[in-house]
Structure 1
Amino acid sequence: MTSIDDIEEPNGPSRSGIARALAVIDTVARAPHAQGVSVIARETGLPKAVAHRILRELVAGNFLAFDEDTKVYRMGPGALTIGLAAMRELDIPTIAHRHLVALSEETGQTATLSLRQGWSRVYVDQVLSRQEIRMSVALGTSHPLHAGSSSKAVLAALPDSEVQDYIEHHRLDSVTDATITSAATLREEISVIRAAGYAVSVGERQAEAASVAAALHGPIGQVVGSVSVCGTRGMFRESTSHELGERVARAAARISADLGAVRDTTGERKDVTP
């Protein structure tokens, strides 16, 4: 039987058998739907015959599954075993910390990491600003998903059904005078956050604080938490919120990529129905 390492590419620089196999696996894993050999060959840049041989070996090893009727490939049970093992080893605070350091240095503000816990989120890490006057958060504290940018970023990233469930079954209690307590206003805010890619809070959780945050996604697209920068209200002007938001959104995307998140290629955004 021909092995992956025996397969040669007739054109272009040669890649190792392992590199070719990984390219095929990555293409199948990132595709929104099962794919045929022609699409996989095009996406990987491999000749169709080479891609087909690699696919056959991966199916034989139970790493991919092949549908005889539709002639398409999807991830198999072997891949699930490895994926679950990787998820068990996923240490989000450790993976995210260097990005928090970079974000704090880049913005001059305190950078925080929150993880989702059911219908709330918890601060688990922070990198303090080097400024003499700076914000800090209490690690380990739990906060509802409608108050503050770190919370709203998580809520806005959830599917519509979960957002609706939160609004219908949780009291939108006031934390400060600026906390959103109206279901209609919260739905509008979620639409704004989804369009921008980040959430903004001015005094919603702490009266004199302001922050911007973006959601973090895990290996199967699940919302795992959020990353933010925070400071005093005086440090956050409306003119700088957009710039800070874009920086935070980029940091969140980098952390999500390190967590193995698959980028959404549909370009579609969800809307919250009343």
Structure 2
Amino acid sequence: MSTLQTLDRGLEAIDIVSRRAAGISPAELADELGVHRAGAYRILATLERRHLVTKGDDGRYRLGSGALVVAGRFMGQYRTAAQPIVQDLADRTGHTALVSIADRDESVAIAVAEPAARGPIGISYRVGTRHPLEHGADGLAILALRPEQPDDIDAVRAARLHGHAVSRGEVQPGTAGLAVGTGAVSDTDVESAIGLIALGQPTDLDLDTLLPVLHEARERIARLY
């Protein structure tokens, strides 16, 4: 399929700017894109007019408020698309289901569902709940998909080995968690996981039954990107 080169370069420029915490100069952007400096200025001027980048007093360009608006809309659309998948996972397993994303060193729940046929005792988990990545199956599953590090904790190493993460009462006492990572998408660097929260201990989880359903849900979530 043919692409529009100018649009492609503009999108590539946004990606490059987003990766430079200290911002980027027009000359540096020109080198990154392989274009003349005048071309980089035109791209930056166009993006700045759309508030996708902004020029600082130091002459370097950083993401602008327009990027935040687009990101917010992405999360809203993603949550809407993911919710039916999460609900189906909850209904099929009888456990609370969630999708979470990594935000720096924390996991944040962006879609949560409880089974429709909920018993007298269930688990409530709110959208927006945060916890350290090293606590909870969803965070461990995200960390397990990252490149191996010398200081990885044992739970991350185990999750990487087995292809899924299990946790015990780290986020909510008396619960067990099971999750698989959905990966990081190169265009957005969104790291996410889909998982289940159940009452009891990890040994109470029927992995032979739950994992196939969880992997199926993961594939459906992955296709949303």
TM-score (norm 2): 0.62
For residue 112 of structure 2, what is the amino acid of its counterpart?
Q
Alpha-carbon distance between aligned partners in 1 of 2:132 and 2:190, rounded to the nearest angstrom: 15
CA shift for structure 1 position 189: 2.7
CA shift for structure 1 position 131: 2.1
Q: Which runs of 4+ in 1 moved over 3 A?
A: 78-85
TM-score (norm 1): 0.52
For residue 90 of structure 1, what is the amino acid of its counterpart?
F
Paired residue secondary structure (1:258) = coil
From 205, 211, 217, the equivalent of 1:251 is 217
CA shift for structure 1 position 197: 2.1
Contact 1:157 1:223 in 2 (8 A): no
From 174, 197, 205, the equivalent of 1:230 is 197
User: For the structure 1 residues 143 and 82, does the alpha-carbon distance in structure 2 shift closer, same or farther, using more than 3 Å as the test?
Assistant: closer
Q: 1:25 — aligned with what?
A: none
Alpha-carbon distance between aligned partners in 2 of 1:106 and 1:82, rounded to the nearest angstrom: 41
Alpha-carbon distance between aligned partners in 2 of 1:155 and 1:195, rounded to the nearest angstrom: 12
CA shift for structure 1 position 234: 6.1
From 101, 118, 139, the equivalent of 1:151 is 139
Q: Which runs of 5+ in 2 are unaligned?
A: 16-51, 53-66
Identical counterparts, % of pairs: 25
For residue 153 of structure 1, what is the amino acid of its counterpart?
A
Alpha-carbon distance between aligned partners in 2 of 1:246 and 1:210, rounded to the nearest angstrom: 18
| Structure with greater Cα Rg | 1
**Alpha-carbon RMSD:** 3.1
Alpha-carbon distance between aligned partners in 1 of 2:88 and 2:217, rounded to the nearest angstrom: 9
Alpha-carbon distance between aligned partners in 2 of 1:213 and 1:154, rounded to the nearest angstrom: 9
Does residue 1:62 correspond to 2:50, yes or no? no
CA shift for structure 1 position 195: 3.0
For residue 159 of structure 1, what is the amino acid of its counterpart?
P
Q: 1:131 — aligned with what?
A: 118
Alpha-carbon distance between aligned partners in 2 of 1:63 and 1:192, rounded to the nearest angstrom: 45
